[in-house]
Structure 1
């Protein structure tokens, strides 16, 4: 087995994105399929939390994390069934990353402790799923650039990467900007 695991939820047959993940040599894949996987099988897992996780919920991915950890995961790559890897490679930063590993770091502004990182990559009018809408105005007024040069080591225990085309955006954004979905391109070269 591997210490590198990929966790995703889906209700579909294997997509192109999932098939690409299966081509990665040093990674194991666990898929939580909600109601499509018999719920009785999920409930037989020895995790007390399973009974509290609602069906048809993103939170079911928690079951996948627990399975991966129980199977020896040291690194978990969380993704979705529609996020296609550009390269057949997943970059994992060291847990204590130097300024060479992470040359820029996010910071929060004066009026909000939240950061909308999407604006720093050329998409200032998009916000990620889970971003508190009541903080949106504060973050906007503090300025979109949320990155600064990094001069010290950073503990990088949780790492997330941008997903072009159809990123995890807030439901209100999806409802009000559906014409953009499937066409969003982040700019990794944008200068903060």
Structure 2
């Protein structure tokens, strides 16, 4: 199985990037931006500078704003072009734990049916009042009934994204 980890960064290689670069069974793709250091380099890493992004030939490149998280999509496309079976999205400040791994792509998982709208998935992991970035503010106080919402079914997951233990990305309102 071919696996890729995709990260965006505007910093020199961080502790997290260096740790992910040591995983021999994964291809690490770091997508830079205008604020990224000019001579960015990390062993065992494919770094996509702005120039490299433009050389990829993806039509999407011209539509993505600079200095924006959405440029990470170019890393997803490169991973797919490289035939990665597993594509993992993480951040340059998420240091992997000792037992870091991701589940299988194809497996039976608890899923939320289509057209359920927005849900606060963090409620599956904590009782703390916290919500993921992008959750409509009129839903931050709602308690979701996951006993009703979740149903086990066969899945083929395209991109896994992990959660941060101590310093999650949250919106400015939080």
Scaled to the shorter chain, the TM-score interval is 0.7 to 0.9
Question: Paired residues, what number?
Answer: 159
Conservation of the 8 A alpha-carbon contact between 1:106 and 1:148 = no
The equivalent of 1:177 in structure 2 is: none
1:47 to 51, 55, 58: 58
Give SS of 2:17's match.
Answer: helix
Matches within 5 A, 1:127-142: 127-137=131-141, 140=142
The equivalent of 1:121 in structure 2 is: 125
Structure 1, residues 126-161: CA drift from partner, whole Å, max 9, x if none?
111122223334xx1xx2553569774331414333
CA distance in structure 2 between the aligned counterparts of 1:147 and 1:13, rounded to whole angstroms: 44
Q: Does structure 1 residue 81 correspond to structure 2 residue 113?
A: no
Stretches of structure 1 lacking an aligned partner (at least 5 in a row): 174-192
The equivalent of 2:4 in structure 1 is: 5
Structure 1, residues 29-55: CA drift from partner, whole Å, max 9, x if none?
010011126533322221011011001
2:103 to 79, 92, 100: 92
When you count strand as a share of all residues, which structure comes out higher? Answer: 2
The equivalent of 2:146 in structure 1 is: 146
CA distance in structure 2 between the aligned counterparts of 1:121 and 1:133, rounded to whole angstroms: 20
Change (3 A) 1:123 1:170: farther
Give SS of 1:85's match.
Answer: coil
CA distance in structure 2 between the aligned counterparts of 1:145 and 1:151, rounded to whole angstroms: 12
Aligned-pair Cα RMSD in Å: 2.5
